[in-house]
Amino acid sequence: MIAVDTNIVVRFLMDDDVRQSEQATHLFRRETIFLAKSVLLETEWMLRRGYRIEPAKIADALEALIGLPNVTCEDDSSVRQALMWHQAGMDFADALHLAASSRATQFITFDRDMIKTAKRLGLPVSEP
């Protein structure tokens, strides 16, 4: 199993640099890939900010990526939960932080947007 960095994932998903995209695709076709949560977090940020892709399309792409048979995702259940909340309107980073904190009874933040979205989704997020 090999772990890949964000730039490999972005090249694989975007296919926007002939040489690097070809190399990334080769890795994803021939290797067993490990994706760290931090790589997915950074990938989402790059696609949203750098490529101006809308959140729903990013969530679909990441869901398809972690669903590949040769891909293992760190804390897969939390990442999948975060993608569901992201599809429902929560910022991906916020959703991933919350999903990764599932053993806690409550998530505390000063982020009013996160609190508002979490309340709409019935999630235990509040101010201190």
pLDDT at position 76 is 94
Alpha carbon distance 105, 111 (integer Å):
18
pLDDT at 102: 86
Tens digit of each residue's pLDDT (9 = 90 or more) over 11-64: 999 999 999 999 999 999 999 999 999 999 999 999 999 999 998 999 999 999
Cα separation, 109 vs 73, in Å, equals 26
**What pLDDT is attached to residue 105?**
87
Q: What local confidence, expressed as pLDDT, does residue 108 receive?
A: 95
Query: Tell me, what's the pLDDT at 77?
Result: 94
pTM to 2 decimal places: 0.88
CATH (residue range 1-74)? 3.40.50.1010
Please give the C-alpha separations between residue 7 and each of 13, 14, 37, 112, in angstroms, as whole numbers: 10, 10, 14, 32
Domains in the chain: boundaries: 1-74, 77-128
The model's pLDDT over 98-108, given as tens digits with 9 standing for 90+, comes to 999 989 888 99
